[in-house]
Amino acid sequence: MNKIPTICFEDIYEFCESMDSEFNRRYYASKSDESVDISIFAKYDNARKIINFLTDYDYELANINFHDPEIDGYEDEFIITLCARISNHDTPEIWVEPAKRKDGYLLNEADATYILDECSRALLPQVETAKTYFVELKENVDDEYDDFADDLELGNCYDCCCHHDCVDCDMDDEEYVNVTLPKEDIETLHMLCRIFKV
């Protein structure tokens, strides 16, 4: 097997945005009798986030076999497949299933495969795609939210999208104030800032 390149992304948002772009590029370049599919291997926590973010890009949930490891004990990888049959003008769909069965990993023959760095290398012999990549996420989303919440509570301006009363800002103190928000609001605010690149 050839050396598999590693692609680094800042976070799960950037990865999902890239997957959507890659899928659309392949989708619009395909001939009318082809299907398009991209597979992503991830463990539960990241798989859940990827599925949630991709539904915001108008992918429809088609076939989901996905359970919390605390409920059913499955702690291995999941395959998330983004697919569409061009001849049927299908809406892009998300299919999810456990990547590992009792007798080993499932065979994967997608157009392209992305394997998050948390995954076992034991699945590699079952990946038969022309384009295979390892994916490294620089920041874990939960850590990012925690850091963002700390910045809001402490009044630090670096790496945050809002301005508030702090020593590092050149902002007028009368216009900006320090606020403390619940974690859910912070997560929503952070996601909106990333979307609008503020």
pTM, entire model: 0.68
Tell me, what DSSP letter sits at residue 174?
A: T
1, part of any domain: no
**Do 131 and 50 have their domain in common?**
yes
* Interval 8-67: pLDDT, tens: 999 999 999 999 999 988 888 876 667 889 999 999 999 999 999 999 988 888 889 998
**Do 155 and 80 have their domain in common?**
no
* Residue span of the structural domain in which 150 resides: 141-195
**Do 12 and 87 have their domain in common?**
yes
**Do 58 and 150 have their domain in common?**
no
Amino acid, res. 127: V
Residue ending a domain, choose from 87, 118, 137: 137
